[in-house]
Structure 1
Amino acid sequence: MSTLKRVAIVGPLPPPAGGMANQTRKLGEFLTEEGLEVDIIQVNPAYFPAFIGKVPVIRAGFRLIQYLVSLKRQLKHVDVVHIMANSGWSWHLFAAPAIWVAHRLNKPVVLNYRGGYAQTFFEKSWFWVKPSLRKCQKILVPSAFLQQVFEQFELHADIVPNVLDQTKFYPMEQKVVNEQPHIIVTRNLEDIYDVATAIKGFALVQEYFPQARLSVAGTGPELNNLQALVLQLGIESQVTFVGRLSPNEIADLYRAADVMVNTSIVDNSPNSIIESLACGTPVVSTNVGGIPTLVTDQHDAILVGIENEQAIADGVIKLLQDDAFRVTLIKNGQNTISKFYWENVWRNLQQHYLKAIAEKG
């Protein structure tokens, strides 16, 4: 009979507080609450010794050696290995080594794959990726979008949604939009999230709501360019770059906002949309990647094409002006996110763990 007492989670931890890092941490906490022993093998620990972190190339070697040592030591004693995986170098440096170490130790592997670049990555690197994937007892993905990508490469993946922390992300009493609506963006300041389009869209919203405010929560390499854009548009008095926030702070920001805008050009199943809906804040988002399988246009969100600031602005204005429509989207959004509650995720995840153990055994 399959037993499940101890789980190893291989993945990143904050800081930085990215989507996968937050999911790794929360998964560990929830599994512990279920009475399991949980070992988290962090793929992004601080460099040791610290000065190595300042030496390119060599630092990667040091981290890889330390990582392999941790894998071999900690995986010996677990019942199942849950690997948080992504595309690109992250796959080659962290996910693939963990799969092969677990395989050599005869430990069942549940691969939790995420990331909007999966298809492009597989097309370029399938020769190297396929052998590792074949060693996994279970492949889990957070969206139907990624499930379809795996199907194209003749591999089956099961859907297990991201985990939502209900103790942090919950709605407040219904808000009434006033003459100073608060709009927010909560993505990292990177090219793929195209925050520039959100800012341009906000400038158009100001033509209808001159006192509107925009808060941009996140950090990243595009910060200087985005600040320059705000100055160029002459909206610096209404835009605030609040930096990286803690989970509690970001939840408070959602509840304080009237609309959340997501303008990503590549995406899978963004936690920002899930968290915003959970907090009762309606969403205007681009319709890329897995987002149309996460939410439905005009039902629980407004979806538009990429790099279209006018469409973003039109969506925001509609939500601010049409009270009945906004209330309907908020109510539907609350129903949509119920599948992300831990009790539902755990029921599903537990079965995959047990099946992986049985298959390996």
Structure 2
Amino acid sequence: MKNLLYIGNELEDRGGAPTSIDKLSPLLRNEGFEVKTSSSHKNQVLRLSEMLNSIIKNKSWADYVLIDTYSTRNFWYAVLTAQLCRNLQLDYIVLLHGGELPLRLKKNPQLSDSLFKNAKLNIAPSRYLFDVFQKAGFTNLKYIPNSIFLKYYPFKSRKVLKPKLLWVRAFAEIYNPMLALKVLEELLIEYPEAELCMVGPEKDGSFKECVNYAEKNKLQVKFTGKLTKPEWTALSEEYDIFLNTTNIDNTPVSLIEAMALGLPIVSTNVGGIPYLLQHEETGILVPPDEESAMLSAIKKLLIDEDLTEKLSRNARRQSEKFDWEIIKENWKEILLSE
């Protein structure tokens, strides 16, 4: 088996939402790979320093360096750690994340070329990012989607729905959590029994803004904070419609999980979402930040039982393609190759 040094932002141990490094590294260990990770340091400068030092310390040990690459500030971690790998003649594999990476390709073309073209492989977790990078001229690409353990997501077919809405994501501005509250506010006019549960950790000021808005407008909203997967999947039994309100997105695992659970989904039609959900086949897609469109979609699900049942069953079938028992073979293929 190969030795892997995984570079990324380990957030779970310090209370954040688990990132790719938090999820994938233990899975690879379970398949027999030796995996070291870096870094969980809270201070960004010290985190970068720890990442660079770990590459230097493990230059003779690591067969490959895996580098989580995001579109925001964390992009620079990838640029600098990849440059060090090249200096040390270490093979590195880039794991692409973030719905804004296409903008990063345009904003920093020379740095992007250096980072991505010199990688042994760029792993795209969505057909969306795969297509974007392919059109940008990159050929060292492989599509390996995000995965779940399907057996941990009990399917519940939905047909007759109650206006009970579930939202699961970190509270961050790009995920537009306020839209869920405004939709609920309008839904209450026709369905006074409607309620909303919002699950996820605080990432920026969005959480406080949402709590204040709910209190000010006397909205029936339950804020759970961060929950473990078993906790929120158990909670999902009590809810009937899953909302995804993001303005920017790639292939969120929370959507795959909702599909597996049989929750009818109403999602904004952004980034990689239309590659994951087919409109009125496995979910309902609406334009971003359009309250009225999302509200209409929810009302349609509450009325049209046949559509609701179709979405629930089709989504479950679609989610089966993302089971780790299938996806792990793709990882083994690339990591065990010479």
**Aligned residue for 1:54?**
none
2:290 matched to 1:308? yes
Matched, 1:113 2:110: no
Q: Which residue is 2:28 aligned to?
A: 31
Which residue number in structure 2 is paired with residue 331 of structure 1?
Answer: 313
Does the 8 Å contact 2:2/2:335 carry over to 1? no
SS of residue matched to 2:71: coil
The alpha carbon displacement at 1:259 in A equals 0.7
Deviations 1:20-71 (A, max 9, x none): x4432221222122122221222x324xxxxxxxxxxxx5433332322122
CA contact (8 A) 2:156 2:261 kept: no
Q: Deviations over 1:191-231 (max 9, x none)?
A: 21112221111122223321121011122311232233324
Note if contact 2:158-2:262 (Cα within 8 Å) is conserved in structure 1.
no
Q: Which amino acid aligns with 2:49?
A: I
Give the alignment of 1:142-161 within 5 angstroms. 142-156=125-139, 157-161=141-145
Distance in 1 (alpha carbons) for counterparts of 2:307 and 2:112: 46
- CA shift in 2, pair 1:16/1:87, >3 Å: farther
Residue 207 of structure 1 aligns to a residue whose secondary structure is helix
1:155-176 per-residue CA deviation (whole Å, 9 max, x = no partner) reads: 13221101213353x1244456
For 1:137 and 1:196, the matched residues in 2 are separated by 41
Which residues in structure 2 correspond to 1:125-204 (within 5 Å)? Answer: 125-156=108-139, 157-168=141-152, 170-174=153-157, 177=160, 181-204=163-186
Q: Which residue of 2 aligns with 1:11?
A: 8
Residue 210 (structure 2) aligns with: 226
Instruction: Tell me the residue number matched to 2:273.
Output: 291
Alignment partners' CA distance in 2, 1:66 and 1:34: 26
Q: Does 1:45 align with 2:29?
A: no
**Whole-angstrom CA distance in 1 between matches of 2:161 and 2:282:** 22
Distance 1:61 1:40, change over 3 A: closer
List alignment gaps of at least 5 residues for structure 1: 47-58
> How far off is 1:152 after superposition?
3.2
- The one-letter code of the counterpart of 1:45 is H
- Give me the whole-angstrom Cα distance separating, in 2, the residues matched to 1:293 and 1:195: 22
Question: CA distance change for structure 1 residues 144 and 178 in 2, over 3 Å: closer, same or farther?
Answer: closer
CA distance in 1, matches of 2:296, 2:52: 51
Which of 58, 69, 72 is residue 56 of structure 2 equivalent to? Answer: 72
Write out the 4+ residue segments of structure 1 that deviate beyond 6 Å after TM superposition.
none
Instruction: Give, as a single letter, the amino acid of the residue that structure 2 aligns with 1:115.
Output: G
SS across alignment from 1:206: helix
- Per the alignment, do residues 17 and 164 of structure 1 end up closer, same or farther by CA in structure 2, a change over 3 Å counting? farther
Partners of 1:9 and 1:38 within 8 A in 2: yes
Q: Is the 8 A contact 1:8 1:75 kept in 2?
A: no
Amino acid paired to 2:24? L
2:74 corresponds to which residue? 90
Q: Give how far 1:147 is off.
A: 1.4
| Equivalent position SS for 2:190 | coil
Note the C-alpha offset of 1:11.
Answer: 1.6
| TM-score when normalising by structure 2 | 0.91
Is the aligned partner of 1:99 residue 2:95? no
Work out the number of aligned pairs and report it: 333
Q: How far apart are the structure 2 equivalents of 1:178 and 1:158?
A: 39
- Cα deviations by residue, 1:86-107 (Å, 9 ceiling, x for unpaired): 1232121x21233233333433
Q: What code does the residue aligned with 2:91 have?
A: P
TM-score where L is the length of structure 1 = 0.85
1:106-133 Cα offsets, whole Å, 9 max, x none, are: 3322211111111211211122222122
What is the CA–CA distance in structure 1 between the aligned matches of 2:55 and 2:132, rounded to whole Å?
29
Match of residue 106 from structure 2: 123
Q: CA 1:116–1:110 in structure 2 vs 1: closer, same or farther (change >3 Å)?
A: same
- Aligned residue for 2:38, secondary structure, equals strand
Contact 1:110–1:139, Cα closer than 8 Å, also in 2: yes
Cα deviation for residue 277 of structure 1 reads 0.8
Q: Is the 8 A contact 1:255 1:281 kept in 2?
A: no
CA distance in 1, matches of 2:50, 2:5: 17
Could you tell me which runs of 5 or more consecutive residues in structure 2 were left unpaired when the two chains were aligned.
none
RMSD: 2.1
